[in-house]
Every structure is written in structure tokens, then in C-alpha cells.
Amino acid sequence: AWHTCGGTIIHYLYVMTAAHCVDSPSGKIYRVGFGEHDLSVDEGTEYYLDVESIHVHPYWNPSSLASGYDIALLKLKDPVYDNSYVEIAILPVEGQILPSQSECYITGWGLTSPNGSG
């Protein structure tokens, strides 16, 4: 097994990830792992689904990371199923604006700045 990037399940058929994770040349085949904790161990909680299509934000520019829009959606060939290890993210209602100073959480791995210093 090989890990590229993390993502968030936002619908039974969609995973949101960073555009820089999937903007490489065409021809790559992606699968998404769910319920995975340790790639070197079969824990019995994991399963994998193939990606049907990738939708990168139209304004994403890999030559200008600081410009933003580093977001992509992975459409899965088959739906995600919830279990005690995998759940769909709870998102605000479409059009809802969160009040200023709302507490939000984000998780993931990797660098926290465009130049890779953190």
C-alpha cells in the first residue's frame, strides 16, 4: 500500500482532498482507503474504493500555491459505507455562513506553508 494524501468524506460518493495531491499527469489510477490506520498491518477495519473521476477546482494553479483553490473532489465508483471507523463529515447546510469566530476543526498530514517550512 502507498499513501499520497488525506481527504474528507463529504458524501457517499465524494471525497474532498487537496488539488496538489491529484493534479499530476493523466493516466494515474487512484483508490481511496477508508478505516485505515497502519498501512503495514491488516487491522480488519479498512476497505478501498476506486475513483471514477477527479474534479480539480478550475482556478487551481500548481505554479502558484499561495493563490489558493487547492481543492479537488474525488468521485467514487461505489458508495462509502459508514461503520464505527468511517463516517461522512458533518457539513453546514448549503449557503450557510458560519458566524465569525466559529470553532472549526481540520485534520491532515503534510506541510502547513507553501514553501514547505512548516
Domains of the chain, residue spans = 1-118
Tell me which residue of 17, 57, 20, 56 sits closest to 33, measured CA to CA: 17
CA distances in angstroms from 11 to 48, 51, 56, listed in the order given? 16, 14, 17
CA distances in angstroms from 51 to 29, 69, 77, 100, listed in the order given? 8, 21, 6, 36
Counting Cα atoms < 13 Å in the Cβ hemisphere of 7 gives: 32
| Strand intervals (E) in 24-71 | 31-34, 47-56
Residue % of the chain over a pLDDT of 70:
86
Domain 1-118 belongs to what architecture?
Answer: Beta Barrel (2.40)
Q: Are 29 and 79 in contact (CB under 8 A)?
A: no
**pLDDT exceeds 70 at position 117:** no
**pLDDT exceeds 90 at position 17:** yes
**pLDDT exceeds 80 at position 80:** yes
pLDDT of residue 67: 85
Residue % of the chain over a pLDDT of 90:
43
> Using one digit for the tens of pLDDT, what is the confidence trace for 19-66?
998 987 666 788 999 988 888 888 888 999 999 999 999 999 988 888
The set of cell numbers assigned to 14 is: 465524494
Give dist(CA 18, CA 117) in Å, integer: 18
pLDDT of residue 1: 54
> Using one digit for the tens of pLDDT, what is the confidence trace for 63-77?
888 888 999 999 999
pTM: 0.81
